[in-house]
Structure 1
Amino acid sequence: MVGPDDMFSRLFNADLPSRLGWAVSRRWYDLRVSWHAWDKEPWVFALVLGLIATSFFFGLRAAYEHQDHRRSLACLARNVYFEARGEPAAGQYAVAEVTMNRKTSGRYPGTVCGVVYQKNWDPLRKRYVGAFSWTEFDSLPAPTGEDWLRAWEVAEAVYYEREAPVLEGAMFFHATYIKPDWARGKRPLARIGGHVFYK
């Protein structure tokens, strides 16, 4: 025998899908009416303004990154040019690699230009001394000619990692005609042209 409560429960559950469907349909209808009745101009304006601002932001960011890459390449190419102009190609690549290895080591400035123009305190000379000798000069002739084009090509190849490293992990180098104190205890990697490279 089915009691009143059971009968009500069955009727309620049996009718539930149709009532839910009606509620959803009604809600969807109300939303459509509200959408057509809305004044959409402020929302459209805000959306367009947001798209313009987003496009401007990404465009500005891309331009800044491009400019930063060009500046880094210029510093790297100048280092190759003034430190290794006239050296074999392997020697020029090695100089560029030393520069980039320092940048990524965490022990030197985190930018290419910061590495190239870094100065350290020299207690003997009692002044700050450039990490690369050519940066000590107040003025230098502008890089030109085939040597400059070659230095730029080397800089691009190393900067964008287009070539396998000539010397893995090279961090230091000096001219073969000097024997600096700092080279003691350093692990020599190779002699290329007029430079000795160390890890």
Structure 2
Amino acid sequence: MLHSLRQASGRLFLLFLITGLLLLSWCRAGEAATTHRVAPNETLFLVAQLYNTNAAELAKANGITNPSLIYPGQVLTIPTKIHTVKAGETMWIISQKYGVSLPALISANPGISPYNIYPGQKLKIPVPGTASGEGGALPSRGGRDYTSGFSQQEIDLFARLVYAEAAGESYTGQVAVAASVLNRIASPRYPNTIPGVIYQIVDGYCQYSPVLDGRINIPANKTAYQAVYDALGGWDPSNNALGFYNPSKTSNQWVRQQQVTTVIGNHIFFR
């Protein structure tokens, strides 16, 4: 009886061990390591440049002791790059740093909320130039970067406006609202400061309804801050719009006569 129990326990342990090894191999396979087949006249340095890495990392990942000895047809494994999130960074800023698209970065990190990342969090960086690292360039403000030069008070005001105007919109819609404010700052037609744009009054009318009804004083949430930082980093889903409106909430005919740049959710963006 005791011998039979021991045999059964041994078989059960062996079954669990085999299952665990299979699951481990499946998980590793699921990481979908990127590979590169060496072409004639390619060097390890050139291959590394293609994938935004360096020859030393590439050699280490492939057990290559002499980086000068690679040959056509050789299959190289491209090492996965890991980024540790720093304070103030957003998915958009990180994607621009590594030259990959925002959708590709989000796709490479399933289970991580793209709009609520935090310092110290580890993100997997997809390889540029591959299907996972592509996805189309996102619209920007032509390289203008506003990530520095504003006080915390201005950022707080900016985030409150985005929250008040677009809390019910998609994240892209919130970034678009923030971007349109920055486009006004860059335009000679409007004040050149965040408070100046937000609190501007033209012909007795506030430019933003939250200023008129007091919603501008409601504290912003984390998503609104993230949207502000992504807009400051250069993302402009509004396509260079200078304003926006919700057609179901305004009867203003002037805005309806302006050139439409895009429509996101309930907002029509215009120049």
Shared fold, TM over 0.5 = yes
Question: What SS class does the counterpart of residue 151 from structure 2 fall into?
Answer: helix
Q: Which amino acid aligns with 2:155?
A: L
State the Cα distance separating 1:179 from its structure 2 match: 4.1
Partner of 2:121: none
Partner of 2:164: 82
For 1:188 and 1:138, locate their aligned partners in 2 and report how far apart those are by CA, in whole Å.
28
Partner of 2:267: 195
State the Cα distance separating 1:120 from its structure 2 match: 1.2
Is structure 2 residue 232 aligned with structure 1 residue 154?
no
State the Cα distance separating 1:172 from its structure 2 match: 1.6
Q: Which has the larger radius of gyration?
A: 1
Q: Which has the higher helix share?
A: 1
Question: What SS class does the counterpart of residue 186 from structure 2 fall into?
Answer: helix
User: Which stretches in structure 1 are left out of the alignment for 5+ residues?
Assistant: 1-65, 122-127
For 1:193 and 1:156, locate their aligned partners in 2 and report how far apart those are by CA, in whole Å.
21
Partner of 2:210: 134
State the Cα distance separating 1:90 from its structure 2 match: 1.5
For 1:198 and 1:82, locate their aligned partners in 2 and report how far apart those are by CA, in whole Å.
19
Question: What SS class does the counterpart of residue 96 from structure 1 fall into?
Answer: helix
Q: Which amino acid aligns with 1:134?
A: P
Q: Render the CA deviation track for 1:109-135: whole Å, top value 9, x for unaligned.
A: 1101110111111xxxxxx22100110
Question: What SS class does the counterpart of residue 176 from structure 1 fall into?
Answer: coil
Question: Is the Cα contact below 8 Å between 1:73 and 1:159 reproduced in 2?
Answer: no
User: Which stretches in structure 2 are left out of the alignment for 5+ residues?
Assistant: 1-147
State the Cα distance separating 1:194 from its structure 2 match: 1.1
In structure 2, relative to structure 1, the CA distance for the partners of 1:86 and 1:139 (3 Å cut) is: closer
Partner of 2:242: 171
Q: Render the CA deviation track for 1:7-44: whole Å, top value 9, x for unaligned.
A: xxxxxxxxxxxxxxxxxxxxxxxxxxxxxxxxxxxxxx
For 1:96 and 1:138, locate their aligned partners in 2 and report how far apart those are by CA, in whole Å.
19
In structure 2, relative to structure 1, the CA distance for the partners of 1:130 and 1:73 (3 Å cut) is: same
For 1:84 and 1:129, locate their aligned partners in 2 and report how far apart those are by CA, in whole Å.
20
- Larger RCO (CA within 8 A; separation ≥ 6): 1
For 1:188 and 1:167, locate their aligned partners in 2 and report how far apart those are by CA, in whole Å.
10
Question: Is the Cα contact below 8 Å between 2:160 and 2:216 reproduced in 1?
Answer: no
For 2:266 and 2:231, locate their aligned partners in 1 and report how far apart those are by CA, in whole Å.
20
Partner of 1:117: 199
For 2:243 and 2:206, locate their aligned partners in 1 and report how far apart those are by CA, in whole Å.
14
Question: Is the Cα contact below 8 Å between 2:161 and 2:216 reproduced in 1?
Answer: no
Partner of 1:4: none
Q: RMSD in angstroms over aligned alpha carbons? A: 2.1
For 1:192 and 1:68, locate their aligned partners in 2 and report how far apart those are by CA, in whole Å.
27
- When normalised by structure 2's length, the TM-score is 0.42
For 1:140 and 1:116, locate their aligned partners in 2 and report how far apart those are by CA, in whole Å.
9
- When normalised by structure 1's length, the TM-score is 0.56
Partner of 1:124: none
